[in-house]
Amino acid sequence: MRVYIQVKQLGKRKCGIENMPVDFPAPPAHVQELIEAIVSWQVSEYNERLQQSEVLKYLTREEVEDKAASGKVGFGVNYNGKPAAEAEAIANALQSYEDGIFRIFIDDAEAGDLSSPILMKEESTLTFIRLAMLSGRLW
């Protein structure tokens, strides 16, 4: 099943929203399964990039131009050199969702709590919104 995640495109003059395709072998039935699948996929992508960065120590011209447009040219170095732990990342994401740090919308409808069933169809759009906590005085 192919769905799309809305991603804010960084590093361009106009920060637009792009749809990034994601393929699920089996569609998740609950919000918790959706979060676990997305985090697992992102951890594997991160660890793969970490291994490639150890091999490749240069930037292409396009990468330099993209990074210059965003204001910082760097190698994206992971200074501790450790790959991400999938179990810890999933636990952190589930706790963050329960705490209200981010919300998930599926085709413009909020997903609900972790045990809520979800109905995704082919070509659905997932939107992850990080909520900013405001602090300050009342008077």
In the chain, where the domains are located: 2-130
117 by DSSP, 3-state: which? strand
Provide the pLDDT confidence category of residue 136 given band limits of 50, 70 and 90: low
> Closest by alpha carbon to 47, among 22, 80, 84, 76?
84
Per-residue pLDDT, averaged over 50-71, amounts to: 73
Sheet holding 109-110, edge to edge: 17-23, 2-8, 125-130, 102-106, 109-110
Give tens-digit pLDDT for 78-88.
556 688 899 99
Look at residue 30 and tell me whether its pLDDT is greater than 60: yes
Name residue 43's amino acid: V
pLDDT category at 60 given cuts 50, 70, 90 is confident
